[in-house]
Amino acid sequence: MSQQVALLQAIRAVIEAAPLFTPAIPRSGKPMSVRMTNCGPLGWVTDKERGYRYQATHPVTGKPWPAMPLMLLDLWEEVAGYPHPPEACLVNYYAGAAKMGLHQDRDEEDFAAPVLSVSLGDIGVFRVGGRSRRDPTQKFDLRSGDVFVLGDADRLAYHGIDRILPGSSDLLPEGGRFNLTLRRVTQPS
């Protein structure tokens, strides 16, 4: 619990430097219901014109992303089983009816590296299937403090968040859910 509070403080500092923005779906320009920001050398962004990509600067402020908190670099070293540091930490914030449709994470060059996920705040109802969109899916709850390493067969599994369960955690006074995903983006040289 104290580690969740410490991590939350670090994420609040990231958001002060790099405010949450509303991403837009490529081509349609439809806003996503999840708000986002990033820390680390690269960040995941999306907009109508240029689509899904990683870039070194915040799409609204134009500033470089803030550094990745040491706690997160340590956690990666402890659990990722991958010999190079993460380059991006995507911070997703779900409030109210926010959700994320079923998708694969394929915007990275390096699929050999796992994706590390940390959840903070209200429960997220997570859905995961297989490598084909048609594969059957299973649902389970992601709770505050849950840490998952998605590697190997899981790395390209379809997944999404159906909804959050408002009021299911006391960690965030404002309610809602943060999810952090740490990723390696480029092939290490």
Residues lying near Fe ion in the complex (CB under 5 A) are found at 105
Helix residue spans in the chain (DSSP H): 2-17, 70-79
Beta partners for 35? 93
Q: How many CB atoms lie within 10 A of CB 61?
A: 12
Number of residues that bind ligand MD3 (CB under 6 A): 17
Partner whose binding site includes residue 161, from ligand MD3, Fe ion, none (CB under 5 to 8 Å by kind) = ligand MD3
Is residue 98 near ligand MD3 by the rule CB under 6 A?
A: no
Nearer to ligand MD3, 141 or 189 (CB): 141
CA distance 68 to 102: 27
CA distance 162 to 151: 22
Is residue 124 near ligand MD3 by the rule CB under 6 A?
A: yes
Phi, psi of 145 (to 5 degrees): 95, -10
Nearer to Fe ion, 64 or 160 (CB): 160
Q: How many CB atoms lie within 10 A of CB 127?
A: 18
Give the contact letters, 41-80, x = binds to ligand MD3 (CB under 6 A), - = no: ----------------------------------------
Q: Which helix (H) or strand (E) holds 183?
A: strand 177-183
Partner whose binding site includes residue 92, from ligand MD3, Fe ion, none (CB under 5 to 8 Å by kind) = ligand MD3
Which tokens go with 11?
């994420």
Give the contact letters, 129-148, x = binds to ligand MD3 (CB under 6 A), - = no: -------------------x
Interface positions with ligand MD3 (CB under 6 A): 90, 92, 100, 105, 115, 117, 124, 128, 148, 150, 154-155, 157, 159, 161, 179, 181
